Structure formats: structure tokens, C-alpha cells
Amino acid sequence: MSAAKIIPKNGGRVFVRRKILPLQEKNMRKGLQAPVPKKIPEKLIKFDDLRVDYYYWMRERERPEVRKHLEAENEYFARVTRDVESFRNTLFEELKARLKDEDESVPYRYKDYYYQVRYPKGKEFPVFLRWKTENQKETFFDANIRGAKKDFYQLGALKITPDDTTLAFTEDMQGRRLYEIRFKDLKTGKVYDEVIKNTTGTGVWAQDSRTFFYVVKHPETLRAYRLYKHTLGTAPENDVLIYEETDPEYDIHISKSKSEQFIFLVISANTTTEYRYIFSDRPDMTFRLLKKRIKGVEYYPYHLREDEFLMVTNENAPNYKILKGRLNAKEKEWEVFLPHREETLIEELEIFRDFIALTERNNGLTRLRILSLDKKEDFYIDFPEETYTVYLDINAEINSRKVRYVYNSLTTPASVLEYDVDAKKKEILKEDVVAGGKFDKENYRSLRLWAPGRDGTRIPVSLVWHKKLRLYDNNPLLLYAYGAYGITVDDNFSHNRLSLLDRGFVFAIAHVRGGEYLGRKWYEEGKLLKKKNTFYDFIDAARYLIAENITSPEKLYAMGGSAGGLLMGAVANMAPQLFKGIVAQVPFVDVLTTMLDENIPLTTGEYDEWGNPNEKKYYDYIKSYSPYDNIVAQAYPNILATAGFHDSQVQYWEPAKWVAKLREYNRGDSLILLHTEMNAGHSGVSGRFKSLKDTARDFAFILDLAGKMYEI
């Protein structure tokens, strides 16, 4: 790889350009051939509509040809990108170097102990400590010991008994999000013999410090459907079944009030909740219904004191309101504590003894509000930047008069702060550090634009770039979005993103409908029979960035994962000419076939999001955008799709089938690649440092296509 000449450009900007051919050109010169899987027609008929899926056979996980094909795809990926391997490794080391080799969280107090998480030097996993005094620090759990020499390791939850003597810890050893629960004596360090399998990865202790409630997943659908009660020191096969949810659209989980006086059984779908409760000092009590489920109504109870509660609900209040009332009071006896507002969405709420802290979203930005329970005090904490993100941190002590929160922006690393409600002062407890000594936040700029949508909607787009770039000067740009489940992609800082910004890229987030960036209505306008708005918003944002000469089709790249991968698949079909390359991470691209199969994990619980295709109106609408079903003979952009063989959220065969069919129909000379992590699930490989290899892989694909392996 020859070093390069210096090319003055764009009013004096100096780039160091290396002479590297784009991936597809190298591929053509080498004559490498992509794997060609066999085609076996599978007829899929619904509502007299026939679809023929020639790659349906890839769903048979245990079939030898399946693993052989995925390994052939990985080998093809490795061969095609071999010339980029050195750069990919360099990029990985660059990403890794920005993380502090040793790091630790801000300690927080909970009852008699202080707690802290540490990352030891060179270790992949965290270590958990607690102490009553500084000279009595003890490591009560070391995930590095548990995760040593495992292909995959994911720690779930740590739950300590009320008497501080026993730890329940949960672990996933495969990546399928099926967690095992084990118990550890914190006095002796001994791990009990009993192991509880196939759980959701969390649970709660009753106040007797002997009874542990947990939820088990269905063996096929992985739906969280059964609540069990375990007694410490006994065999799990003797555990008592407390509740089973039979409606396949609902999952269950278990939680505990901050006051520790109540244990809640939560039954929920995407847009509906139901709570049942027992008193935590009465583990043999039968769970009582708090408020019956109503389709489309969500409510979330917060215990204040005695039988007094606050309740956040969207009943007749799309952006949520807060009610106040007593446990067994009739609904009409609950009073409005904080009314619904058309322009403001309630997001998080934290209970303290005499006040609440809540985050609200207004015009896309989060605000932190302090409101006393007697309503005599009500104010917002100020933040300095035009676009930023703030969220509540760990606030374990209900009697505290200080609120802990995290602040960051596209250009500012995260800081943990504490606000003194009485003194009206904030204190920075920790500022995140970009290791290596090269980062200076003053080198970066951010901006929020509003792109015109085809239906008159204004689509917010957040951008960040290096100050040496001239924004309106046809730059390489990576456009990112998610757009589902009401999840908002906030304007967070990213250590990893610096590797793009420092190479001349603009990074943009399209806050498309389907998220809640502009409130609950923004979500409702991007789901079910309005799902295409998500795709249209992304395409219209891309066209606006091109029209403003911020980028161009030859320099525009797109990225999204999971439901955001569905977005990538849809725009690849609908507007392939706008993008030079697309990275689709674990993409949900076979929407119609998956949503018709009730035996696949997550299907029935997703009807509120995508619609139930057993109803013809939803069948027709999903079919009209499902990426796999809408591949046509046209020139597609360069595409990298990723998968996890043990993925429980998006099964590996979706991206595998999609890539095979894309290659078959592609009429251009673009590269279409698949890389599958054979020992991982939805989130990729595990480990603090090892997981960066996935990022390096995705960034290297984009950077090589752009010919941008240089520094500003």
C-alpha cells in the first residue's frame, strides 16, 4: 500500500489519500465468485396469494448445508476484503485505544453499602465491588472469571438479597438471550448447586431473602410467559409455578418498587400493560390485579409511601400524564398530578421521598424536571447546547436530596452529574475520557436541520462533523436511523464515530417516524398501516442532504440494525440510486414470512408494531414493503449484511436469504456481502474490546468504498 501524494482540496483542506481500489473493483480483478446456494422452491400461500421462496430451506438450523453455506459466505467475505484486513485491524486498534484501559463507574450508595463497577486493565468484562468503608472493599462478582475461555458470555443481572448475604446472578453463554440463574453466598464465596435455565435474565428477592421470583421463556417462541417462585437451597424442579400468560401477544416480567414494599408482575404487549402485585414481605401471597389491561393503554405505577402511588399512563393522554391515588381506590378517585401536554412527552420518572425527577421530550430534545410532591417547587435544569441528550442515572436512595443524571451530546463525551435540589447546584462526578490524548471537542461541530418530507412533514436530522470540513461541500456522509417501537436515537456522543469524522465523514441521524423524537404521535405515524412513513422519511432526508450539497449519491452511505435493518432493506429496494453503500446489521428483512410464523421468537408479540398478517389488510400492506419480497431486477448499492447464528431477535436466515436473493436480482456490479458471527446472537460478539471488531468491520467496509483511508 503506497503512501500517497498530498492533494489540496476544498479551499485548502489537505487530505492524505492512499491508492486503494474500491472493494468491488478488486473483487472483479480477482475473479472471486460469491457462494451460490441451491434453490428449492417452497410454496407459501395465504389469502390465495402464492409466494415462492427458493431459500426457505436455510431456516433448518441443524441442516449441514446451512452451516456450510454460512461458513462459505464468511470465507467469501474474508477473501473479498483481504486487502482491507490490515486496515481493519488498524481501525480496531484505533477504536480500542480510545477506551481507557482501566475504568470505573461513580460509586453509589444503596442502604449500608457503596457499589461500583470497574474494568480492570486489559479485561473484557466488568468487576463489581461494594464496601461499607473505603478499607473494606470487596469484589463480590468478577465477570472475567465467569466469562474466561468462553466463545460468548453475557452477564444479565445481579440481585442481592435484602439481608445482603446472597447474590443471584444471570448469564447467557450462547447469545440467544436465554439466561441461567445461579446463586452465590457472599460470606463464603460459594456458588450454590442449583441452576435455573431458560430465563429472561432477571428476577427479584422477597424480603425473607430466601424466596426468588423469576420468569421463564417458552422453549420455541422464547416468549416470556411463566412466573416461578424458587426457594434458595432447593432443587429448581421443585419451583412453584405462580402464573402463566396464555395470550401469545403478551410477555411477562417481574420487578420491585423502589420502596421495596411491593413486587410487581408486569404483563405487557408493545402498547398495553397490566400490573399485579404482592407485598414483598408476603411471598406466599396471591398476586392481586392493580388495573385490568385495556388494549392500547399503558400504565406504570410508582409507590410513594404507605398505600399512596403515582401512575404514569397514556389513557386518553398519548404523550402520557401522571395520576396520584391510593392502592385500592376507584379509578375516578385518582387525581391528575401532571396533565397531558400535546407538545411534551413524559419519558423517565424517578421517585424520591418528597419530589420526583422526570425527563421529558419537547421538540425532540430531552429536559430534566424537578417537581415536589406538594407541587410547591417545579423547575427545569438548564443545558448549554443546541442538541444534546440527558437521562437519569442510578438513583438508588429514595431519601436522597440529590439527583444523579448523565449528560452528553454529539460533540461532548458523557458526564455523570449530581444536582442538589436544596442548594440548586450541580456537580460533575465523572467526565468520560477519550483515551489517547488526541480528542478535543472544539474540533467538532453539530447542527440540527429539518428536511421537507413528501407529505409536508418536517423530518429532524442531526449532524456532526469535523470543523475542517465545509458542511455544504459534497462530503462523504453516513446516514443512520432506527425508526420503530417508539425508540428514539438520541444525539449521543460516540468514541467510535470519531474514526469516521476524523477521515472526513459527516455523520447524520435521521429522526424518522416510528421513533418518539417528536412525541407519541411521531411513533404512531410510523407503525402498522403507516409503516412506510419510516422509509419515506429516510429517503426524503437523504434527498434533502443531497439537494443541500452536504453530500451526493456517490458519497452517501446508510446504516441501521435490526428494525433499522428493515429500514435499510426497504430503502435499498425503493431508492437504490441514492446510496453508494449500505450496512444492514442483523436486518429484519423477511417481515411477512416471519410474522406469519407464530413459532418464531417475538412474532405474536409484534402484532402491535407491524400488524397481524393473518388479517388481509396487514398481509397486503406488509407484503408491499417487506424487503425480501420486494427485491426486483435493478442495480443495488454495495451492501454488507451481518447476522448472528444464535440470534433470537432476528433469525440468521433472514439476512442470509436476503443476500442470496439480492445477488440473484442485482443488475449492477456492486458488492453484496454477508458476515455471520457463528458464536454470537443479536448484539454480536461479547466483550468490551472484542465487540469493537464488529464496528471495525462495518466502518472498514464503508471507508474502503469511499476511498477515505486517510486523516483530515
166-197 per-position pLDDT tens digit: 999 999 988 889 999 999 999 999 999 999 99
> What was the pLDDT predicted at 27?
56
- pLDDT class of 154 with cuts at 50, 70, 90: very high
Q: Which pLDDT belongs to residue 7?
A: 25
Catalytic residue among 647, 694, 698, 704: 647
Q: What is the percentage of the chain residues whose pLDDT exceeds 70?
A: 95
Question: Which of 129-133, 384-388, 591-595 shows the lowest per-residue confidence on average (mean pLDDT)?
Answer: 384-388
Domain 150-297 class in CATH = mainly beta
**Catalytic residue selected from 562, 626, 683, 686:** 562
> Across all residues in the chain, what is the average pLDDT?
93
Task: Give the CA count within 13 Å in the CB-facing half-sphere of 289.
Answer: 7
Higher pLDDT, 534 or 602: 534
Three-class DSSP labels, 583-610: EEECCCCCHHHHHCCCCCCCCHHHHHHH
User: Greater confidence, 378 or 27?
Assistant: 378
Which segment of 121-125, 333-337, 563-567 scores lowest on mean pLDDT?
121-125
Q: In this predicted structure, what is the pLDDT of residue 602?
A: 77
What is residue 647's predicted lDDT score, i.e. its pLDDT? 84
439-552 classified as CATH 1.10.3720.10? no
Of residues 296, 274, 300, the one with CA closest to residue 287? 274
Nearest C-alpha neighbor of 622 from the set 607, 632, 635: 607
Q: What is the dihedral of CA 289, 293, 297, 301, to 10 degrees?
A: 10
Q: Hey, how many other C-beta atoms are within 10 angstroms of the C-beta on 426?
A: 17
Looking up cell 395520576, which residue turns up?
323
pLDDT higher than 70, residue 75: yes
Is the pLDDT at 26 greater than 90? The verdict is no
Q: What is the residue whose three cell numbers read 435474565?
A: 201
Considering only residues 31 and 142, tell me which one the structure prediction assigns the higher pLDDT.
142
The cell numbers describing 325, all together, are: 391515588
Residue partners of 148: CB distance under 8 A and separation at least 6 = none
Which amino acid belongs to residue 73? E
Is the confidence at residue 137, as pLDDT, over 90? yes
Q: CA–CA separation, 147 vs 230, rounded Å?
A: 25
Active site residue 284: no
Contact 588, 562 (CB under 8 A): yes
The whole-number pLDDT of residue 175 equals 86
For residue 654, pLDDT over 50 is answered with yes
Average pLDDT value for residue range 498-513: 97
What does the pLDDT average to over 448-475?
A: 97
Segment among 13-17, 31-35, 107-111 with least mean pLDDT: 13-17
pLDDT by residue (tens digit) across 468-497? Answer: 999 999 999 999 999 999 999 999 999 999
Residue 207 scores a pLDDT above 90: yes
> pLDDT (tens digit, 9 = 90+) per residue, 285-314?
999 999 999 999 999 999 999 999 999 999
Q: Give the type of residue at 371.
A: L
Euclidean distance between CA atoms 306 and 323, whole angstroms: 16
Is residue 562 part of the annotated active site? The answer reads yes
pLDDT at 712: 63
Structure confidence at residue 343 (pLDDT): 96
**Among 119-128, 272-281, 310-319, where is mean pLDDT lowest?**
119-128
Residue 14 has pLDDT above 50, yes or no: no
Q: How far apart are CA 289 and CA 279, in angstroms?
A: 13
72-93: average pLDDT: 95
SS3 content of the chain, % helix, strand, coil (to 5): 20, 35, 40
In the predicted model, is pLDDT for residue 535 greater than 90? Answer: yes
- pTM for the full model? 0.92
Q: Report yes or no: 483 and 380 within 8 Å, Cβ to Cβ.
A: no
Q: Are the CB atoms for 424 and 418 separated by under 8 Å?
A: no
**Catalytic site includes residue 624:** no
| pLDDT band (50, 70, 90) for residue 565 | very high
Mean pLDDT of 448-472: 97
> What is the rounded CA–CA span in Å between residue 490 and residue 390?
9
Ranges assigned E (strand) in 423-572: 425-431, 444-452, 458-466, 477-480, 506-510, 556-561
Other Cβ atoms less than 10 A from the Cβ of 83: the count is 16
In the chain, where are the structural domains located? 150-297, 439-552
Banded model confidence at residue 133, pLDDT cuts 50, 70, 90: very high
The CA-based diameter of the chain, rounded to the nearest angstrom, is 77
Q: Specify whether the CB–CB gap between 567 and 538 falls below 8 A.
A: yes
Do strands 458-466 and 444-452 pair parallel, antiparallel, or not at all (unpaired)?
antiparallel
- Of 147, 199, 191, 194, the C-alpha closest to 173 is 147
pLDDT: which is higher, 377 or 679: 377
Q: Which of 682, 686, 694, 704 is catalytic?
A: 682
**pLDDT of amino acid 682:** 78
Is 525:537 a contact under the CB 8 Å cutoff?
no
